Chain A
Amino acid sequence: METNTAILLTVLLPTLASVSNIVLRNQENLRDGVTFAAAVATFLCVLQILANVGNTTSETLVLFEVLPGLDLAFQVEPLGLLFAIIASGLWILTHVYGVGYMRGNKESHHARFFSCFSLAIASVMGIAFAANMFTLFLFYEVLTLSTYPLVAHKGTPEAIRGARTYLGILIGTSIGLQLIAVIWTYAIAGTLDFTRGGILEGKIAGPMVAVLLALYAFGIGKAALMPFHRWLPAAMVAPTPVSALLHAVAVVKAGVFTMLKVGIYIFGIDFLAETGASVWLMWLAAFSIVAASVVAMTKDNLKARLAYSTVSQLSYITLGMALATSMGALGGGMHIAMHAMGKITLFMCAGSIYVATHKTNISQMTGLGRIMPITFGAFLIGALSIIGLPPMGGSWSKWLLVMGAADTGQWVMIAVLMVSSLLNVAYLLPLVGRGFFLKGADIPDNAQMAEAPWMVWLPPAVTAFGCVVLFFFAGDIQTFLSPIVLPR
């Protein structure tokens, strides 16, 4: 299959799945089956694109010329391809998990739920393959809008309030700041195409570079850089499959992915390094990393704790970009994959515990490891990967980030990364200990295994395994990503 056809399919198939969910709203097995097929087909298309890399010279695929010089266009590029592989691959697992969760938990409005879910995946594919900032911005907004119903899903006052915060911050930052940044970029550079080495060099100078970067950094609200991180904990009112895929993988990763794209292809790493425009961003990211970790420690609700952990981990990627070295950018890119795999495991475990026992707070989960060994085992592996210990994938991205910091002589940043790892240990591992080694009051000594249905416990087990696998393939990922930091 031609690369361009495959790209179109990756956007179209989830969109069609979204429509089919509405059309087949009353036949739940057929409906969920069709979506599963679409998820697998989307993943295969992405793999096809991967297989084509290097074989054929792919041209930019232009769909519309919306404004003169501004196209709705797609293109393959390593970072985006990596993002697409993760998102589409994890969609398959999350869909299985989601079906199990929604049925096991007797949630309502399945058709609407899976329809919006598929649409969100379609927009993620659009973001991943966007050839210019305009296309990316378009799908970025579609992603916000399509996930809003998912956050408001339960329809309770709490969900509605959470969804308002979600939409308010994400739309507010994207229209209020990012759009201005995009138009400004277009006005001075005359193009928005993602170009190796950036498009701004020589077009803008002095403190204005830092101002433009600030408009982007805060405008990309999905990257949850403090102080615009409030939407992420607010979005945790959504059902757990949403939190798992969208708020550990698709939405937040779309944010940091955009951040990397802007740093690498709009500004250019070298340009950032020359002007020093990103130094403040580096410090802000470091602050975000530590502060969010500290907040995470205070949360007893498991999903809230994971949400703040995500805020912290996302800033690793922002930090990688702000370091303005090729190691840092590579580390940031790789961390997208590593963190996705680890965090989705943790979220799916949280959901699995909820389906099996309806417990949401860590203090109630004492002794649960004995009756849910698979879930807690997977949680342990995911947590180790987030912490960054071998043999889990997360260790490599953290390694590259530390190397990047060392390259620039930013010793404080190395210290921040190390402190953050310790904080991760402090807020993630106690749950595992509490689950396995403490004895729960309401759990008899001779309790049998009482896992959630297989559709709920299998996917986190698979992603936990994935965390280990990624450890051994980190070198390949690094080689694959390395073209992004080549000079123009």
Chain B
Amino acid sequence: MSLTEQLPVLQVLVPFMAAPLIVFLGSRGLAWILAFGTSAAAFVIAALLLGQVLDGSVISYHIGGWAPPLGIEYRIDAANAFVLLLVSGISAIVLPYARESVASEIPRRHHTLFYACYMLCLTGLLGVVATGDAFNVFVFLEISSLSTYVLIAQGSHRDKRALTAAYDYLIMGTIGATFFVIGLGMLYMATGTLNMADLADRIADQGANRTVVAAFGFIIVGMGLKAALYPLHLWLPNAYTYAPSVVTSFLAATATKVAIYVLLRFMFSVFQPTFLFEGNTLEFLIIPLAVLAMFAASVIAIFQTDMKRLLAYSSIAQIGYMLLGIGMLSQTGLTAAIVHLFNHGITKAALFMGVGALVFRAGGSFFDRIQGMGKTMPWTSAAIVLGGLSLIGVPGTAGFVSKWYLVQGALEKGWWPVAVLIVASSLLAVIYVWHIVETLYLKTPAKDIAVGEVPNSMLIPIWIMALACIYFGLATDITLGAAQAAAKGLLAGSSGMLH
């Protein structure tokens, strides 16, 4: 077997091996180098995988040569290759930034373990996305969740409230995972299999009985919790606010997106679009909640006085956009959801890294700490403004592309009020983004703050992300191409799974 054929498993295996290796070597300098090298390798692998499946084909990899449904199968299609690219790409860009940021926020003796946990988290996220086995999803989900709790708790060196935030998330995350695994148990009871493609077939054969419907409910609620689907979002604001800047940047751009991906995979591939349609799940559950998230969370964001918390609430609102796209159950809507998943990922990465840079100098992210930093940190602030514009969805930025598709999807369905609601909630985004802009540029800085830009190793990753927000707003071949292929595959239901 050539190396190319092993790519699906290498995608997960490389970071998985890096984690213990970092602990084993026990050197701070090597830990960072290994983590960065691994992420870069994962990114290359993801790019190669996406290149293979962009035409709509599917890669099926059998772990250990055991054929599915008995053996574990990794399936790569356009939908998950795209998410793999996002996760590994964000990781590869966040890590150079991490070096200085981690050094300033976390005591030196914890550095190696921090990077090891980070690698485990990356492994978990990539594994959830790559695998084609339902139970395997659960296993990787737990790997990523457990390491995430540890990573968030590392924020306690800056602010003790990180401990309660991590604890909250631990409780909520575990409840979510429990619901998810109960759902899987029911599916196994009803069908006798755990392979997703096989599950899809058998569910289609036996139709919707009560066990399957209940399983569907448990899985949606469990994953909804991980995705911070409103009103299951309560863990998110504190976790994002108190986690170390690096962790927030990485998680905000990837963790909820991965959960959304799992939702998509289960809703469309394991269960069928027709199943969803008959159950009216989307129209009566997902869409109202999505709209509620867009507005409630945006309004809450407007009143925040801590920039990290503001961005956290904005994330909850943006997840609403993705769910809305999913709820449209159309090619355009689904494309919007998937492309927004990516675009919002890079936007939030830019913003959270930017605020992390402010924290690096100001020691906190409250508005009265970071006010007037536009003058002392012009480059960081400018990048934050670019990210903010993308968050609003100004034309020429990534956020615009997804919003355009979302509105178009709503119009195609004839849902006028929804289209109006989408733009109305963008206007709420204008308000909270401008809150940030005015704070940065039109106030005088606090007296006791160290003056000067952050080191280039932090500034360059921030700007890569900020420019990516512009680039993907103009050149949309990659993002839209992948999202369209993914949407097509998902809408084909289980026939998409059977190639």
Asked if A138 and B475 sit within 8 Å, CB to CB, the answer is: no
A179 CA / B427 CA spacing, docked (Å)? 12
Q: Does A183 contact B (CB under 8 A)?
A: yes
Asked if B411 and A142 sit within 8 Å, CB to CB, the answer is: no
For chain A residues 250-270, which have a beta carbon within 8 Å of chain B? none
Contact A141-B396, Cβ < 8 Å, known A175-B427, A180-B420: yes
Asked if B438 and A179 sit within 8 Å, CB to CB, the answer is: no
Contacts A/B (CB < 8 Å), 26 sampled: A63-B474, A64-B475, A65-B476, A66-B401, A67-B401, A67-B404, A68-B480, A134-B395, A141-B394, A141-B395, A141-B396, A145-B394, A149-B441, A152-B442, A171-B427, A171-B430, A172-B430, A175-B427, A176-B427, A179-B423, A180-B419, A180-B420, A183-B407, A183-B419, A187-B408, A187-B411
A446 CA / B393 CA spacing, docked (Å)? 61
Q: Contacts of B389 on A, CB cut-off 8 Å? A: 145
Asked if A180 and B396 sit within 8 Å, CB to CB, the answer is: no
**Interface residues as binary, B252-285 with A (CB distance below 8 Å gives 1, 0 otherwise):** 0000000000000000000000000000000000
Q: Contacts of A67 on B, CB cut-off 8 Å? A: 401, 404-405, 476, 480
What's the least CB distance linking A241 to chain B, in Å? 21
A179 CA / B473 CA spacing, docked (Å)? 16
Q: Does B195 contact A (CB under 8 A)?
A: no
For chain B residues 422-458, which have a beta carbon within 8 Å of chain A? 423-424, 426-427, 430, 434, 438, 441-442
**Interface residues as binary, A447-479 with B (CB distance below 8 Å gives 1, 0 otherwise):** 000000000000000000000000000000000
A468 CA / B330 CA spacing, docked (Å)? 60
Q: Does A167 contact B (CB under 8 A)?
A: yes
How many residues on the A side are at the interface (Cβ–Cβ under 8 A)?
30
What's the least CB distance linking B373 to chain A, in Å? 15
Contact A138-B419, Cβ < 8 Å, known A66-B474, A160-B442, A183-B407: no
For chain A residues 141-183, which have a beta carbon within 8 Å of chain B? 141-142, 145, 149, 152, 155, 160, 164, 167-168, 171-172, 175-176, 179-180, 183
Listed from nearest, the 10 A-B pairs whose CB atoms lie closest are: A138-B395, A64-B474, A183-B407, A187-B411, A138-B396, A141-B394, A171-B430, A176-B423, A141-B395, A175-B426
Q: Which of A68, A142, A160, A183 is B396 in contact with, Cβ under 8 Å?
A: A142
Q: Contacts of A176 on B, CB cut-off 8 Å? A: 423-424, 427
Contact A175-B393, Cβ < 8 Å, known A155-B442, A183-B408, A187-B411: yes
A66 CA / B399 CA spacing, docked (Å)? 13
Most chain B CB atoms below 10 A, which of A63, A66, A145, A149: A66
A179 CA / B476 CA spacing, docked (Å)? 19
What's the least CB distance linking B374 to chain A, in Å? 10
**Interface residues as binary, B372-405 with A (CB distance below 8 Å gives 1, 0 otherwise):** 0000000000000000010011111000010011
Q: Does A97 contact B (CB under 8 A)?
A: no
A187 CA / B426 CA spacing, docked (Å)? 20
Q: A66-B473, A187-B412 are in contact. List 16 more A-B contacts (CB 8 A).
A: A64-B475, A67-B405, A67-B476, A67-B480, A72-B474, A138-B395, A145-B389, A164-B434, A171-B392, A171-B430, A175-B427, A176-B423, A180-B407, A183-B404, A187-B408, A187-B411
Give the contact-size bracket for chain B. 20 to 34
What's the least CB distance linking B389 to chain A, in Å? 7
**Interface residues as binary, A47-64 with B (CB distance below 8 Å gives 1, 0 otherwise):** 000000000000000011
Asked if B423 and A175 sit within 8 Å, CB to CB, the answer is: yes
Q: Contacts of A168 on B, CB cut-off 8 Å? A: 430
Q: Does A184 contact B (CB under 8 A)?
A: yes
Q: Contacts of A142 on B, CB cut-off 8 Å? A: 396
Q: Contacts of B419 on A, CB cut-off 8 Å? A: 180, 183
Q: Contacts of B474 on A, CB cut-off 8 Å? A: 63-64, 66, 72
What's the least CB distance linking A219 to chain B, in Å? 10
What's the least CB distance linking B294 to chain A, in Å? 14
Q: Contacts of A180 on B, CB cut-off 8 Å? A: 407, 419-420, 423
Q: Does A186 contact B (CB under 8 A)?
A: yes
Q: Which residue of A lies closest to B431 (CB)?
A: A168
For chain A residues 392-416, which have a beta carbon within 8 Å of chain B? none
Q: Contacts of A175 on B, CB cut-off 8 Å? A: 392-393, 423, 426-427, 430
What's the least CB distance linking B483 to chain A, in Å? 12
What's the least CB distance linking B452 to chain A, in Å? 17
What's the least CB distance linking B324 to chain A, in Å? 15
What's the least CB distance linking B223 to chain A, in Å? 30
What's the least CB distance linking B329 to chain A, in Å? 18
Q: Contacts of B473 on A, CB cut-off 8 Å? A: 66
Asked if B407 and A179 sit within 8 Å, CB to CB, the answer is: yes
Q: Contacts of A36 on B, CB cut-off 8 Å? A: none
Q: Contacts of B430 on A, CB cut-off 8 Å? A: 167-168, 171-172, 175
A142 CA / B397 CA spacing, docked (Å)? 11
Asked if A186 and B396 sit within 8 Å, CB to CB, the answer is: no
Q: Contacts of B405 on A, CB cut-off 8 Å? A: 67
Q: Does A137 contact B (CB under 8 A)?
A: yes
What's the least CB distance linking B419 to chain A, in Å? 6
A145 CA / B438 CA spacing, docked (Å)? 13
Q: Contacts of A72 on B, CB cut-off 8 Å? A: 474
**Interface residues as binary, B452-484 with A (CB distance below 8 Å gives 1, 0 otherwise):** 000000000000000000000111110010000
Q: Which of B408, B434, B442 is A167 in contact with, Cβ under 8 Å?
A: B434
Q: Contacts of B442 on A, CB cut-off 8 Å? A: 152, 155, 160
A63 CA / B301 CA spacing, docked (Å)? 37
What's the least CB distance linking A360 to chain B, in Å? 23
Q: Which residue of B lies closest to A177 (CB)?
A: B423
For chain A residues 1-32, which have a beta carbon within 8 Å of chain B? none
Q: Which residue of B lies closest to A160 (CB)?
A: B442
Asked if B408 and A186 sit within 8 Å, CB to CB, the answer is: yes
Q: Which residue of A lies closest to B403 (CB)?
A: A179
What's the least CB distance linking B253 to chain A, in Å? 23
Contact A184-B427, Cβ < 8 Å, known A141-B395, A142-B396, A145-B394: no
Q: Contacts of B407 on A, CB cut-off 8 Å? A: 179-180, 183
Q: Contacts of A152 on B, CB cut-off 8 Å? A: 441-442
Q: Contacts of A187 on B, CB cut-off 8 Å? A: 408, 411-412
For chain A residues 277-334, which have a beta carbon within 8 Å of chain B? none
Q: Which residue of A lies closest to B444 (CB)?
A: A155
For chain B residues 137-194, which have a beta carbon within 8 Å of chain A? none
What's the least CB distance linking A169 to chain B, in Å? 11
Contact A172-B427, Cβ < 8 Å, known A67-B401, A145-B389, A145-B394: yes
A142 CA / B400 CA spacing, docked (Å)? 13
What's the least CB distance linking B393 to chain A, in Å? 7
Q: Contacts of B434 on A, CB cut-off 8 Å? A: 164, 167
What's the least CB distance linking A317 to chain B, in Å? 24
Q: Which of A68, A137, A160, A172 is B438 in contact with, Cβ under 8 Å?
A: A160
A37 CA / B476 CA spacing, docked (Å)? 35
Asked if B411 and A184 sit within 8 Å, CB to CB, the answer is: yes
Q: Which of B395, B420, B426 is A137 in contact with, Cβ under 8 Å?
A: B395
A160 CA / B443 CA spacing, docked (Å)? 10
A145 CA / B437 CA spacing, docked (Å)? 12
Q: Contacts of B441 on A, CB cut-off 8 Å? A: 149, 152
Q: Contacts of B423 on A, CB cut-off 8 Å? A: 175-176, 179-180
A184 CA / B476 CA spacing, docked (Å)? 21
Q: Which residue of B lies closest to A156 (CB)?
A: B442
Q: Contacts of A172 on B, CB cut-off 8 Å? A: 427, 430
Q: Which residue of B lies closest to A142 (CB)?
A: B396
A145 CA / B392 CA spacing, docked (Å)? 12
Q: Contacts of B408 on A, CB cut-off 8 Å? A: 183, 186-187
Q: Contacts of A155 on B, CB cut-off 8 Å? A: 442
**Interface residues as binary, A179-201 with B (CB distance below 8 Å gives 1, 0 otherwise):** 11001101100000000000000
Q: Contacts of B420 on A, CB cut-off 8 Å? A: 180
Asked if A183 and B411 sit within 8 Å, CB to CB, the answer is: yes
Q: Contacts of B427 on A, CB cut-off 8 Å? A: 171-172, 175-176
Q: Which residue of B lies closest to A137 (CB)?
A: B395
Q: Contacts of A138 on B, CB cut-off 8 Å? A: 395-396
A262 CA / B499 CA spacing, docked (Å)? 47
Q: Contacts of B424 on A, CB cut-off 8 Å? A: 176
A167 CA / B476 CA spacing, docked (Å)? 28
